[in-house]
Amino acid sequence: MSLEKENNARDNYRLNSIVITCAVKKKFIIILSKYNSSLYNSKLLLLFLFKVISIKVLKCFGCLCRICIDQRANA
């Protein structure tokens, strides 16, 4: 496996973990299987979560993803 593919796989796993953590803590039941295919789709789902739930209600769970950082900077 090339280094780039390995890094993408690691980032994809991390982002999916963040999405699952946010979803579980907010008592969402989300089927993520169709979103597991790419980093792009994971980011889309994460954006969806942030748009559906008010930023004030959704607390940061310690993940340092770009969206969390941006939202905290704008808060």
User: Measuring CA to CA, which residue among 54, 52, 57, 55 is closest to residue 73?
Assistant: 55
Listed by start position, the domains of the chain span: 3-74
pTM: 0.25
Query: What does the pLDDT read at residue 58?
Result: 42
Question: Rounded to 5 degrees, what angle do the CA atoms 9, 16, 63 make?
Answer: 105
Q: Of 31 and 17, which is predicted with more confidence? A: 17
Write out pLDDT tens, residues 38-66: 544 556 666 666 665 544 334 444 444 55
Given pLDDT bands bounded at 50, 70 and 90, which one contains residue 7? low
